[in-house]
């Protein structure tokens, strides 16, 4: 394994960490289960690709536009969530994959099935970013995504989203405008997905409709569910496990879809809170161990 | 009572298909009182609450709070105007901690503008004070879903308190409580009035209401059949008839 290879794996893993953090806002906090998150990712990637190849914008100049475009489209795509129940939302988000995929495939503006190629690599002070530089760039965005997520988890908005996500009737009685907070969740989540998309497009250098299909959505959801819905540590850990393990064990790479699907199903049945989620076996174990270290073994802390 | 009319309903009516659940109810609640609403199961008490708090739109009639029409407003707007409610079947946010549940309500002043993007840490103390008042402080960090029913009822009231309302609507807060817990609840409700909160208390059992309410309105089949002090109501022939005629004459 060369350093270049490790950095490539690292860069993709970073992009998926941003995506799981993105989905964590929407599905972890606002409980709007999305099986169409790759569509939001794809919108970001295509927006970046078009701005770079057709408008000739640099990565840096395009990035704010990509974020605005994905946020606006994300809000628009989130509107059905105001009308349908949670179960139907799952179905309609599955539909999103196919709608967005079809738009990419059938409109010449988006390059059709030939995709968009020759997306330039970003430059940094006039010099193109190499593999090392791009890994560094991705890492910076992962850190930013983690920090902003940590901040958001401590805000009124997160509390309101969780309340509205769990029980709309009770949330309204707490003065929460449920529709507004659902739309906020779609907006914030889309903004992160847009950044992940731009990183992908400029790293790979090309975008194709099939990069952002239903199987990709399942991957992202499986990562988040595996790590722990509603937690930042879970989002990071899940993306790491499902992105790095298949790379390490090359044999199972061909069975990606199978693995993601199985992970999703198994976790939902046996550990719906995920490996590191609130109240999961590992989380409770870590808490016990931490208490033991802090208070000394054998001495039980109060409660 | 010469005090201010806080909440007034006029001709308030709600039809569910062919069923008239609330039938031309005229209700006046004065500031500072504990106003009981009793009636057998299915009398329309919860529906009346849903009409006042914006969960249902009236078929006919109007609701006025502090001189302002509020029927037709969405529930969260009505909260901002100063009316809080609890639910007959408790609805805690089970995955949030007890403290976070109260914070969600305390946050109602932060849900507009850029408020949602501000941290909540600085307001923890207020939420803890409320939990202390209702006796839940030592359970603040438990997931709300794990509380026994008696504590979940207290949490419902704690959240409503955190909304700092002028009027609080309690829907059968004593349901499922032991006699001992009901004594505690009485103290809690009286404490609300001392805080300056006007209370409308729905119950289908008479005893609890008789003890703490100044005025009682009796509903049956959606209609007001009696209103007055607990003594007046208890001796009203129409009330006795309604209660004896119904299956649960327990009160
Ligand atoms: N959403 C609804 N749809 C249809 N009927 C309802 C609905 N809510 C209540 N009802 C009916 O209205 C009547 C009054 O119910 P409710 O207000 O819950 O009574 P109470 O709270 O006094 O026990 C009952 O007959 C009930 O079945
Ligand atoms: Mg009822």
Architecture of domain B5-250: 3-Layer(aba) Sandwich (3.40)
DSSP annotation of B148: -
Q: What is the B40 CA–ligand 1 centroid distance (Å)?
A: 12
pLDDT of residue A37: 96
B12, B13, B15, B16: which to mutate for ligand 1, most atoms within 8 A of CB? B16
Asked if pLDDT for residue A45 goes beyond 90, the answer is yes
Residue B248 CB–ligand 1 contact under 6 Å: no
Instruction: Enter the ipTM.
Output: 0.93
Residue B21 CB–ligand 1 contact under 6 Å: yes
Q: Which ligand is nearest to the CA of B48?
A: 1
Collapsed DSSP state (helix, strand, coil) of residue B218: strand
pLDDT of residue B2: 57
Residue B41 CB–ligand 1 contact under 6 Å: yes
Residues contacting residue A193 through CB under 8 Å, at least 6 positions apart = A18, A19, A22, A37, A40, A41, A43, A44, A70, A74
Backbone angles phi, psi at B63, to 5 degrees: -125, 130
pTM of the full structure: 0.91
CB of A175 less than 8 A from some CB of B: yes
Q: What is the B16 CA–ligand 1 centroid distance (Å)?
A: 8
- How many CB pairs below 8 A link A and B? 101
pLDDT in tens, B119-149: 999 999 999 999 999 999 999 999 999 999 9
Asked if pLDDT for residue B205 goes beyond 80, the answer is no
pLDDT of residue A164: 96
Hey, are the CB atoms on A156 and B110 less than 8 Å from each other? Answer: yes
Nearest CA owner, ligand 1 atom 5:
B16
Rounded distance between C-alpha atoms, residue A279 and residue A234, angstroms: 12
Asked if pLDDT for residue A254 goes beyond 50, the answer is yes
β pairing state of B34-38 and B215-220: parallel
Domains along the sequence of chain A with CATH: 3-277 (1.10.3470)
Hey, are the CB atoms on A159 and B104 less than 8 Å from each other? Answer: yes
Domain ranges of chain B: 5-250
pLDDT of residue B246: 54
Answer whether B104's CB lies under 8 Å from B130's CB.
no
Contacts of A170 in chain B (CB under 8 A): 87, 91-93
Q: What is the A180 CA–ligand 2 centroid distance (Å)?
A: 29
Closest chain A residue by Cα to residue B87: A170
CB of B117 less than 8 A from some CB of A: yes
Q: Average of pLDDT values for B77-99?
A: 97
CB atoms within 10 A of CB A225: 29
Confidence of residue A252 (pLDDT cuts 50, 70, 90): low
Between residues 20 and 79 of chain A, which touch chain B (CB distance below 8 Å)? Answer: none
In angstroms, the separation between the Cα of residue A85 and the nearest Cα of chain B is 17
DSSP annotation of B236: -
pLDDT in tens, A188-229: 999 999 999 999 999 999 999 999 999 999 999 999 999 999
CB of B104 less than 8 A from some CB of A: yes
Q: What is the B49 CA–ligand 2 centroid distance (Å)?
A: 9
Q: Which ligand is nearest to the CA of B15?
A: 1
């Amino acid at each position: 394994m060369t350093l270049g290879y490790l950095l490539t794996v690292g860069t993709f893993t970073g992009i998926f960490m941003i995506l799981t953090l993105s989905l964590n806002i929407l599905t972890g906090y606002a409980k709007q289960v999305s099986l169409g998150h790759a569509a939001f990712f794809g919108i970001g990637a295509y927006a970046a690709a078009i701005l770079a190849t057709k408008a000739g914008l640099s990565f840096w100049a395009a990035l704010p536009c990509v974020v605005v475009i994905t946020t606006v489209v994300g809000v628009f795509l989130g509107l059905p969530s105001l009308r349908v129940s949670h179960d139907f939302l799952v179905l309609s988000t599955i539909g999103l994959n196919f709608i967005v995929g079809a738009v990419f495939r059938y409109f010449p503006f988006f390059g059709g099935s030939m995709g968009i190629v020759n997306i330039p690599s970003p430059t940094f002070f006039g010099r193109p970013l190499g593999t090392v530089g791009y890994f560094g760039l991705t890492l910076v965005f992962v850190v930013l995504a983690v920090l902003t997520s940590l901040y958001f988890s401590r805000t009124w908005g997160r509390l309101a989203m969780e309340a509205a996500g769990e029980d709309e009737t009770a949330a309204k009685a707490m003065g929460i405008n449920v529709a507004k907070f659902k739309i906020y969740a779609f907006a914030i989540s889309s903004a992160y997905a847009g950044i992940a998309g731009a990183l992908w497009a400029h790293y790979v250098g090309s975008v194709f409709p099939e990069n952002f299909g239903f199987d990709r959505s399942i991957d992202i959801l499986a990562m988040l569910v595996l790590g722990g819905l509603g937690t930042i540590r879970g989002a990071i850990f899940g993306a790491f496990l499902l992105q790095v393990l298949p790379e390490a064990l090359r044999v199972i790479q061909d069975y990606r879809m199978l693995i993601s699907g199985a992970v999703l199903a198994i976790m939902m049945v046996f550990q719906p809170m995920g490996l590191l989620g609130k109240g999961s076996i590992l989380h409770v174990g870590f808490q016990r161990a931490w208490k033991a270290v802090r208070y000394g073994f054998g001495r039980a802390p109060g409660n | 009572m010469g005090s201010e009319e806080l909440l007034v309903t006029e001709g308030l009516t709600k039809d569910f298909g062919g069923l008239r659940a609330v039938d031309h109810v005229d209700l006046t609640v004065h500031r500072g009182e504990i106003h009981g609403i009793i009636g057998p199961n299915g009398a329309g008490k919860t529906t009346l609450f849903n009409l006042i708090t914006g969960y249902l739109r009236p078929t006919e009639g109007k609701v006025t709070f502090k001189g302002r029409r509020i029927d037709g407003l969405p529930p969260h707007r009505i909260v901002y105007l100063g009316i809080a409610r609890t639910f007959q079947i408790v609805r805690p946010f089970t995955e949030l901690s007890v403290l976070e549940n109260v914070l969600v309500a305390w946050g109602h002043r932060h849900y507009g503008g850029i408020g949602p993007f501000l941290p909540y840490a600085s307001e923890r103390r207020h939420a803890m004070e409320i939990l202390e008042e209702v006796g839940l402080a030592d359970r603040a960090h438990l997931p709300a879903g794990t509380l026994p029913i008696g504590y979940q009822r207290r949490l419902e009231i704690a959240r409503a308190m955190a909304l700092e309302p002028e009027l609080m609507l309690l829907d059968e807060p004593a349901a499922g409580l032991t006699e001992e817990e009901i004594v505690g609840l009485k103290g809690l409700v009286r404490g609300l009035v001392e805080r300056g909160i006007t209370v409308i208390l729905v119950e289908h059992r008479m005893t609890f209401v008789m003890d703490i309410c100044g005025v009682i309105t009796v509903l049956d089949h959606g209609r007001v059949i009696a209103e007055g002090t607990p003594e007046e109501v208890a001796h009203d022939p129409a009330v006795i008839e309604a209660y004896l005629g119904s299956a649960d004459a327990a009160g």
